[in-house]
Amino acid sequence: MANIVVPELGDSVIEATIIRWTKNEGDAVKIGDTVVELETEKANFEVAAEKNGVLTQIQKKASEDVEVGDVLGVIDESKTAASESVQTEQKPPEEKKEQEQESKQEQTEAKPPEKQREPDEEDTEEGIKVTPVAKNIANQNNVDLKAVTPTGPNNRITKEDVENYIKSRSAAEDKKTKEPSEKEEEKFDPSEFLPSLSQYYSERERREKMSRRRRTIARRMLEAQQTAAILTTFNEVDMSSVMELRKRRKDAFKEKHGVSLGLSSFFVKATIGALKAFPQINAEIQEDEIVFKNYYDIGIAIGAPEGLVVPVIREADRKSFAGIEQEVRDLAKKSDEGSLTMDELMGGTFTITNGGVFGSMLSTPILNPPQVGILGLHKIEERPVVVDGDIVISPMMYVALSYDHRIVDGREAVQFLVKIKELIEDPENLLIEG
- Give the pairing of strands 298-300 and 350-354: parallel
Has 409 been annotated as catalytic?
yes
pLDDT of residue 343: 87
**CA angle centred on 295, ends 292 and 330, rounded to 5°:** 135
Q: To which H or E segment does residue 5 belong?
A: strand 2-5
Coil, helix or strand at residue 312: strand
Has 405 been annotated as catalytic?
yes
Which of 304, 306, 309, 299 shows the shortest CA–CA distance to 37? 306
Q: How far apart are CA 23 and CA 20, in angstroms?
A: 9
**CA angle centred on 47, ends 72 and 69, rounded to 5°:** 45
Q: Catalytic residue among 174, 330, 336, 405, which?
A: 405
**pLDDT band (50, 70, 90) for residue 372:** very high
Q: How far apart are CA 316 and CA 313, in angstroms?
A: 6
More confident residue, 413 or 57: 413
Q: For residue 333, count other CB atoms closer than 10 A to its CB.
A: 11
Contact criterion met (CB below 8 Å) for 108 and 84: no
Contact criterion met (CB below 8 Å) for 304 and 342: no
Q: For residue 407, count other CB atoms closer than 10 A to its CB.
A: 17
Is the per-residue pLDDT at 117 higher than 50? Answer: no
Q: What is the pLDDT of residues 185-223, one digit of tens each?
A: 566 666 666 667 777 777 788 888 888 778 888 888 888
Question: In degrees rounded to 5, what are phi and psi of residue 419?
Answer: -65, -45
Q: What is the pLDDT of residues 51-84, one digit of tens each?
A: 899 999 898 888 888 888 889 999 888 876 544 4
Q: SS3 breakdown of the chain: % helix, strand, coil, rounded to 5? A: 40, 25, 35
In the chain, the domains with their CATH numbers are 2-92 (2.40.50.100), 122-165 (4.10.320.10), 213-433 (3.30.559.10)
pLDDT of residue 418: 97
Q: For the residues 228-255, what does the mean pLDDT come to?
A: 94
More confident residue, 42 or 170: 170
Helices (H), 258-386: 264-277, 321-337, 342-345
Q: How far apart are CA 434 and CA 238, in angstroms?
A: 19
111: Cβ–Cβ under 8 A, 6 or more apart, which residues? none
Q: How far apart are CA 317 and CA 328, in angstroms?
A: 14
Q: How far apart are CA 335 and CA 154, in angstroms?
A: 81
Q: Spell 238-271 as b/e; 16+ CB within 10 A means b.
A: bbbebeeebeeeeeebeeeeebebebbbbbbbbb
pLDDT of residue 99: 55
Q: How far apart are CA 312 and CA 328, in angstroms?
A: 9
Q: Catalytic residue among 33, 70, 317, 409, which?
A: 409
